[in-house]
A and B are shown apart, each in its own frame.
Chain A
Amino acid sequence: MTHANPNSVLTGTHFMNGDAACCEGLLAAGARFAAGYPITPSTEVVERFAARTPKTGGLFIQMEDELAASIAIQGMVWAGEKSFTVTSGPGFSLMMEHIGYAAMTETPCVFVDVQRGGPSTGLPTLPAQGDMMQARFGSHGDYLTIALVPDSPQECFDLAVESMNLAERFRIPVMFMMDECVGHMTEKVVIPPAEQIPVYPRRRTTKKPGEYLPFAPGEDLVPEMAHAGEGHGLFVTGLTHDDRGYPLMNPAQQHKLVNRLFDKILRAADDLVMVEEEGMEDAEAVVICYGITSRVARRGIQLAREKGHKVGLMRLKCVWPFPEKLVHGLAGRMKAIVVPELNLGQVVLEVERCAAGQCRVIRLPHAGGTVHKPADIVAAIERGMA
């Protein structure tokens, strides 16, 4: 680990929205280059980036569409830079092919999705959490990603840094799943001094051209990286490939490669459990939530406690990989788990799978456009405790 470059860190206490904080987080994490295509409610991230980059070095390019933006950033990464793109639902759908390309070619990058109501054009200016399964399964074929979900502008900064760091550590595309509320909400954001912001550097190879095998995995199954122009004669392809990067299309290599892409994340799954717990000491039921929904859940839990229900909160900051063991253990101790989310039931499917019938799992779906009412959360808790 190294630390952030002071040149790009706005150390201090700010009053800024989540989109702006996300931009600052990615800059602090070392992104100097980005590509994007305008889409509400995400555009403010790259508007700010475009204004900031001449001073920090680097640039923002507005591409002709999301397909172009999501592959241009990967060109930037193979040129040696850290990069990201920002979008919302309809654009996220268009980017799916290149999330798969990044997974297959082990290109570290961050995809920010400021979620809005869908399907299709849906609700451009209103919140939802309907892209959560798409963040996990959106591109064709088998791959794993990491998806982080912030619930405040402060976390838009903190977890944006973490997203970029995880992308570099695992050489994967990381999904940063904001939503319209968090993106447009303005709150206090404290940006620490650069030397207090840990930054995961590119895992560059020290091997000489000729000795270096671009896709030979290291001990943690992640290969070292080299860039264009360094004399390695890289060959990067989305086809199933061997350790040299050469196409090798047979069942044995497919098995070896795809399993490694899974295992490099699965092996570290315990490290990737990122949750915030509140009131779990005496809890008999728990509300599992993420993103903006957690802020309503807090109020709902408060009201339920006033009515005498012992309820705790578990907020997932990292939804993918899903904290399977944690939720399985929790289900054994609880009477009920309530899962409010701004979709008609996505992450709750994972909760149900991991709870494995040990306790009641109460779905609290919402099609989006606004957030739940605290009273809805209370009612769901009461149903669970009954």
Chain B
Amino acid sequence: MSTTVDFPIHNPVEDILRMDRIPTIWCPGCGIGTSVNSFAYALLSTGIELKKVAIVSGIGCSGRVSGYTKMDSFHVTHGRAIPFATGLKLANPELTVVVYSGDGDLTSIGGNHLIHAARRNMDLLVVCVNNMIYAMTGGQAAATTPGAAISTTTPYGSFEPELNIAHLVDAAGASFVARWTVFHVKMLEKTMKEALSKKGFRFIEVLSPCPTLYGRRNNLADGLAAMKDYKERSKIRNGAPTHETALVQGGEIVVGKFVDRERPDYLTLMRQQLGANYHPLPPQPDENPEAGVAKEDCCSC
């Protein structure tokens, strides 16, 4: 007699995951998968048609997110997810375009693009998983690594202060700026849902533990302990001025929705300014050859 019974259990997040690519490459205790779970629930709850959603990632552990989702997924070069997503959105404004990548990818090598997409108020949702380290390459210091933290390239501690990403994108003009940790799964889901329903440049920072490559060298090697640490150190301050939200080692982690402003996005502004001078795209001859012939006949009469 068999001792196992197959229950047809359907996990709702399966609807947005490429189940043939699971399990993921992520380590035990890593928070990236947890953030994807929140994202999946948020996306499903918006009712946005999944075939009109595209996910773009750069390089790194978080850069693998796009490839685990079932929507149109683009895994581009290091740091360039935002400009690729910009092109995608401009050429097909019907798409909901989400950039899902890591702190090293988005703020260091891709930092310039982050600033300018926020300035343009490009209609993108950017989810930045911040694990404070270059994890894929083995644990080197990042722009977000808190000062004094040990990494493979800062064996005596970092000599650089860390970047406050929320403050940067706020200053550059983002429409929406929020931060949660992967301890705050429901708040994160709610914020992601809200951001998905808004236009303009929306930025969500998600703090995630990296037990393998950050935690191990900085007394945070245990995933569960990292969650407890997030719980103890986090303080919800919606609307906090972003210059007060810096993340310092062992200090308070300010979380919540910091910025939610109304500002026309790039395409809206373009259509407003061009007015009657803007002509939407004409049909191409290859799309409907018969219609093309008919049009020619018409012109010759």
Contacts and interface: CB of A to CB of B under 8 A. Distances in A.
Interface of A: 2-7, 30, 32-33, 35, 54-59, 61, 63-65, 67-69, 71-81, 83, 97-98, 101, 195, 199, 201-202, 227-239, 246-247
B18 A235 contact: yes
Contacts of A98: 77, 80
Contact of A7 (B52, B54, B74, B282): B282
B91 A75 contact: yes
Contacts of A35: 83, 87
B51 A230 contact: yes
B76 interface: yes
A169 B18 CA distance: 31
A68 B117 CA distance: 11
Contact of B282 (A56, A64, A67, A238): A56
Contact of A247 (B67, B91, B296): B67
Contact of B75 (A73, A230, A239): A239
A71 B84 CA distance: 5
A56 B66 CA distance: 34
Contacts of B73: 233-236
B278 A54 contact: yes
Contacts of A72: 83-84, 86-87, 90
A64 B277 contact: no
Interface of B: 18, 21, 51-52, 54, 56, 66-67, 70-77, 79-80, 82-92, 94-95, 112-113, 115-116, 270, 274, 277-282, 284-286, 289, 292, 296, 299
Identify whether the interface residues of A are mostly helix, strand, loop, or mixed. mixed
B205 to A, nearest CB: 21
Given A3-B285, A7-B282, A238-B76, A74 B51 contact: no
A199 B286 CA distance: 9
Contacts of A202: 286
Given A64-B112, A80-B92, A235-B75, 4 more contacts: A7-B282, A73-B87, A79-B95, A231-B51
Contact of B88 (A5, A228, A238): A228
Contact of A68 (B54, B113, B281): B113
A229 B95 contact: yes
A75 B18 contact: no
Contacts of A32: 281
A205 to B, nearest CB: 14
Contacts of A7: 282
Nearest to B78: A97
Contacts of B112: 64-65, 68
Given A75-B86, A233-B71, A246-B21, A201 B286 contact: yes
18 contacts: A33-B91, A55-B279, A68-B112, A68-B113, A71-B80, A72-B83, A75-B56, A75-B74, A76-B90, A77-B91, A79-B92, A97-B77, A199-B286, A228-B92, A229-B94, A230-B51, A233-B70, A238-B76
Contacts of B91: 33, 75-77, 79-81, 83
B72 A228 contact: yes
A79 B296 contact: no
A84 B200 CA distance: 25
B291 to A, nearest CB: 12
Contact of B54 (A64, A97, A228, A247): A228
A69 B80 CA distance: 10
B87 A33 contact: yes
A229 B87 contact: no
A236 B75 contact: yes
Nearest to B122: A61
B267 to A, nearest CB: 9
Contact of B274 (A54, A61, A73, A238): A54
Contacts of B51: 229-231, 233
A202 B287 CA distance: 10
A281 to B, nearest CB: 41
A85 to B, nearest CB: 10
Contacts of B289: 2
B84 A54 contact: no
8 closest Cβ pairs, A-B complex: A75-B87, A201-B286, A79-B91, A57-B281, A72-B87, A68-B83, A75-B88, A79-B92
Contacts of B94: 229
Q: Select the residue from B113, B284, B285 with max chain A CB neighbours within 10 A.
A: B284
